A and B are shown apart, each in its own frame.
Chain A
């Protein structure tokens, strides 16, 4: 597997795992909007992976 794909998946996994961690540790509005922020990062990374391995379906 290419290194950029591994890096992308690692960042996405980190974003996903961070959601309950910030909820348990920080809580409140920070966790609420922080989850959205992590989702935005996830979304940007998955878009980058798709674009960089573009296939004409």
Chain B
């Protein structure tokens, strides 16, 4: 095993990180200001003009999909769990996102029918305001949880590269994000997301490939991983080998056994489409040709390699530093990618990588905050008061950005989750199980009913509480992550299918407005 010193933050790295992150945010705010003039009313602010092209949509989609989890947490997974961390790294994440590209394209049809939010797609599909409100409320709960992970990624990378407290830097980041969201609305955010997606794709690929050579090549890394065993955060060694694709560390760990592995594969397959902030990217997409659509898919495929590149940085760190990072409280193995970037490129390398992490985390956060703000105004307030003034709704949406940025920030500051990716996977599984069926399948399956959708949401949220780290530990077999995730995802599917078939179908005259003759 090669041993090298672990990089430490310096005054130069602090300045470099500050400049890099500020530059990225300044350009994003500039984009927001540019689109301010094009977001004149509530409708335009929510969904733009439906004229966004495939390149911007493809990059924006990967930006909301690949969050702090992919650009920061993945190296921690590879470092901490070896090959068995690959399942949460998302080696098969492209399968899920390409499914989203295919299923999500139909969102345009609903946008043409007046849908401005994802729950509104559900309302149009089932002609149910209750379902729209319920879907909106569910999204808010799950997305708040997922937002915490984005702040934790940014906070940890800031601390590691600058050595300073992160609260004020993150508060400033949140303010700037709020500014470009409030000004630019959907269209401005979509272009900012595209910029951020492009940044972390290039940075992730470069550092991923460089890290493999830095650690002595693929064979040396594989050899080091095979010789490693699991070390708990804090530094306590265990006899659990990291040489295989499963590691019996704890039933709450997705790579514990092949049940957990199967569940994580299905989670990745469904959650890309289930994420409301992902599928919403298609609301503003213009009509595309087959060639443009292929281009969109190619962009998606290229950026879905990025999580694997970052995972490789974690393996490289394990080969070079052994288990030393497991004593590095409070981030432990999650420090791997940032420290590798500093080892590779000094303060500038650390700064560029930090910018990529901020780009990934802030893009997902922005997508989610936009969803949550419009969940309140469009899916709840406007739903109950259809004649509410659009100007008032626009102002309220802009103001709501503040609490939806502040609440997860405060949560992260007062009670940060211990292991980022595991925490986020809890919310991800619930979004995958519920919204894959309620939103995506409903756009294609004519026999789906509102009662099927409502029952799915209730079941999914109920089972989400049985996550192994919440109440599942008291109710075996839900203390096993794989059992819990499979019960949630396939339980949602079974409830959706069963209740829909047992209840009265949506009248044909209503369906004919939504489904084309080709779908008959």
Interface of A toward B, CB cutoff 8 Å: 15-16, 19-20, 23-24, 27-29, 31-33, 35-36, 38-40, 42-43, 46-47, 49-51, 54-57
Contact = CB atoms under 8 A, between A and B. Distances in A.
B317 interface: no
B222 A28 contact: yes
A57 B222 contact: no
7 contacts: A20-B265, A32-B311, A39-B92, A42-B98, A55-B518, A56-B287, A57-B105
B86 A55 contact: no
Given A36-B305, A43-B98, A50 B245 contact: no
A55 B517 CA distance: 11
B415 interface: no
Interface in B230-278: 243-245, 258, 261-262, 265, 269
Contacts of A27: 83, 243-245
Contacts of A42: 94-95, 98
A35 B91 contact: yes
Interface string B150-189: 0000000000000000000000000000000000000000
B308 A28 contact: no
B98 A47 contact: yes
Q: How large is the interface on B (under 10, 10 to 19, 20 to 34, 35 or more residues)?
A: 35 or more
Interface of A (DSSP majority class)? helix
Interface of B: 83, 86, 91-95, 98-99, 102, 105-106, 108-109, 218, 221-222, 225-226, 243-245, 258, 261-262, 265, 269, 287, 290, 293-294, 297, 300-301, 304-305, 308, 311-312, 516, 518
A38 B261 contact: no
A31 B89 CA distance: 13
A39 B93 contact: yes
A46 B106 contact: no
Contacts of B304: 39
B95 A47 contact: no
A17 to B, nearest CB: 10
A49 B297 CA distance: 13
A42 B92 CA distance: 10
B261 A23 contact: yes
A47 B258 contact: no
Most chain B CB inside 10 Å of its own CB: which residue of A20, A33, A35: A35
B245 A31 contact: yes
